[in-house]
Structures are given as structure tokens and as C-alpha cells.
Amino acid sequence: MSQITELLAHWGRGDRAAGDALAQAIYPVLLDLARGQLRRHGDQLTLRPTELAHEAYERLVPQAGVDWRNRAHFYAIAATVMRRVVIDHLRQRSADKRGGDVLLVPLHDLTGDDQPSAGDPVDWLAVDQALNELAALDPDSARVVELRLFSGLSVEEIAAVFDSSTATVGRQWRFARTWLADRLGIAPAPGHDG
């Protein structure tokens, strides 16, 4: 990832050769993120991993002027871009069908390293709206959710990305999960620790 950080810095300064090298370096990362994203969205998305990765890359290209600070900054922006691609796709699909197959998942069921899987119904549009509201209240917790749900990173991986403790990230995840469940009107599961 330090190679990617260095390439991002050179690319940001207008180095076209770095842009080409960057494309080769980050595309596999984006493809892995896309595969995870599509596993979590199951039947809700009609995109293939290569299409999602390509669209995310296309949206990252105009960000050449960003002052890429480090690996955490790259993952945060990549997660945001991936989230926007997915949400835009779902909005378009929902508009086409007028909400015909938007489904819900209880957020209180997302404990530990759980991630939604192909069979889990999720109203990602409602999650996106609530996540925007959470970002206004607690940006760090919102970034943790974004990295968990849209990049598929574990609490430990997020802690490493942000150079934070797993305890801090765990607290942010628990707070965000509880806040989102409340915002989305989802009752906590019996015996759930919040």
C-alpha cells in the first residue's frame, strides 16, 4: 500500500506515468472491494465485479488533484466512491421499478465481523440516507460504518487503516450500529448488547 500512496502523490502532482502505474496497482484492490460489495448485496445489484470496479476507478480518476495523505485516505475515498456507485445503481434500479424489491435487514444482527451476505435483504438506500445523517453527527463512526459495509473491512483492518486501536473502532462500530438501528426503526434483538 505504500507504493499506492506514493503513486497517488505523484499522480496528484500530474505525473501521467504514475497514473498508469496507479491504475495497475489499485484496480486489483478495487476489484476485491467490488467482489465483496456484490457478495453483500446479493440479488439487489445487477452489476458484475469488473463493472463495479471499473465504475469506481472511473470516479476516482477525476480525483487526481486530491492531496492523497496515506493508505487510510485512499481506503476512505475508495469506500466512499464504491458506496456512491452502489447507491446510484440502486437508486436507478429503484426508480425503474418504483421500489418493487427494496428489502430490509436488521442492523442489530450485524455483530462482530458479520457482514451481509447474498441472502440478506438490505435497504441500502435507507442505510445510505441514515449514514449521511450519522456523518453529520459523528464523522469518524460514519467512516467506520462505510469501511465495514462498503469496503468489507474488519474492525481490526479499520483500526490498522486509521492507525487507531481496535477498542476505539469497536466502540465506534457499536455506537454507529445502535444509532443506525434506532434511526431506521429497528428494535434491538433480545439479549443483544448494543
Write out pLDDT tens, residues 90-133.
788 766 554 444 444 444 444 444 444 444 456 778 888 999 99
Domain boundary assignment for the chain: 2-183
Confidence of residue 160 (pLDDT cuts 50, 70, 90): confident
Mean pLDDT of 54-75: 74
CB 86 within 8 A of CB 150: yes
Q: Is a pLDDT exceeding 80 seen at residue 147?
A: yes
194 or 130: whose pLDDT is higher?
A: 130
| Residue 92 zone, left/alpha/beta (φ > 0; ψ -120 to 50; rest) | alpha
